[in-house]
Structure 1
Amino acid sequence: MSDFEVRPATLRDAKAVAEVHAASAQAAYAGILPDDQLRALTPATREAKWREAIEYAEPQVHVVELGGEVVGFVGFDRSRDPKTPSTTGEIWSLYVKPEHWDKGLGVALWDAAREGLEEEGCTVVTIWVPLRNDRAIRFCELAGFKREMKTAKTTAIGTVKIEEIRLKRNV
């Protein structure tokens, strides 16, 4: 698949990023979140957040386009975890529309984030993933991330509590 392009997001991409986020999160969290909360994951609830992130580069956002359509994105920056060195980066989010899973687009986004973090002086990168999201954990492990078993934490998504684990690798 060579007709895709990874590039920094622009404000014009905010709506498409929100659409990708909603569609991918609904698919990724099926069976993890209740149906009513999955239905609440809509582009309308996400667009302002992504517009602000793109405008202020917090996090930095890159998109992947396929045939001129944004079908995935990655948000990355310094780690948000307390007490981490300034050389620790974090993948804040990485989503690809479900119909484009397993086509190398997530890897291309990860590569762009890794390069961006390296340019920022990061030597280590982390990502938080729900323990029940087997697909995401498998993707991260194939990308060289290792589970940090003592980092498990509970995060509230709506009214549901999700167990997450941090994975880490060298940039």
Structure 2
Amino acid sequence: MQTRPATTDDVPDVQTVARETWKTAYDFLSREEREAALRERYATDRLESAVADDDVEFVVAVDDSVVGFAYAHPVDPSERVGGAELRDVQVRPERWNEGIGRSLLAAIEDALRDRGFTQLAVAVFADNERARLFFEAQGFERVEERVEDLFSGGTARQLRYHHDVG
């Protein structure tokens, strides 16, 4: 397995990984909410824009095909240093516990560090125990809890974590 920068050719595989992951990892959300999130967050044009954006670090993990992806962007795009927001770390469920998520996160952190970023933040659903445990094991510290609006009109508790990358 290798990690590399994503290309627009990877977008269909990224969407497949997202669908598989959201079906399994976000089963505490309604089906309607998961589908709304997939439509909004993983729309082809949105992902292609993220891959092409020089401010966004977008990486994929590849074996024979894309098995995971991660991406982050500056909290304030006008600043090239400071804080970045991790938007996703997703791995095909059948490949969980193989270190792929750690490899993706390390690739993102290395790229951000090389660009002068010092901190990485991530928001995690409070009900997503797997994600909470993953980020805590990687040294992320919980700094906030809040209620966020969801895509289909509901709300959910989210936890915000920070991690130094500098």
TM-score surpassing 0.5? yes
| CA–CA separation in structure 2 for the residues paired with 1:79 and 1:127 | 11
Describe the SS at the equivalent of 1:103.
Answer: coil
Per-residue CA shift, 1:53-83, capped at 9, x if unaligned? 11224532100002x20010001121269xx
Change (3 A) 1:65 1:76: same
Q: Stretches of 4+ moved more than 6 A in 1?
A: none
Residue 127 of structure 1: CA displacement? Answer: 0.6
Counterparts of 1:108-119 in structure 2, within 5 Å, are 108-119=103-114
* Counterpart position of 1:70: 66
* Counterpart position of 1:24: 21
Query: How many residues are matched?
Result: 163
* Counterpart position of 1:79: 75
Q: TM-score, normalised by structure 1?
A: 0.85
* Counterpart position of 2:46: 49
* Counterpart position of 1:126: 121
* Counterpart position of 1:167: 161
| CA–CA separation in structure 1 for the residues paired with 2:102 and 2:124 | 16
* Counterpart position of 1:97: 92
Q: TM-score, normalised by structure 2?
A: 0.88
- The alignment-based identity, stated in percent, is 25
Change (3 A) 1:153 1:79: farther
| CA–CA separation in structure 1 for the residues paired with 2:16 and 2:45 | 12
Stretches of structure 1 lacking an aligned partner (at least 5 in a row):
none
* Counterpart position of 1:60: 57
Per-residue CA shift, 1:74-98, capped at 9, x if unaligned? 01121269xx994112211110111
Change (3 A) 1:153 1:35: closer
| CA–CA separation in structure 2 for the residues paired with 1:71 and 1:80 | 30
Give the letter aligned to residue 52 of structure 1.
S
Q: Residue 90 of structure 1 contacts residue 125 of structure 1 at CA under 8 Å; is this kept in 2?
A: yes
Counterparts of 1:129-148 in structure 2, within 5 Å, are 129-148=124-143
Which one of 75, 82, 88 corresponds to residue 83 of structure 2? 88
Stretches of structure 2 lacking an aligned partner (at least 5 in a row):
none
Residue 105 of structure 1: CA displacement? Answer: 0.2
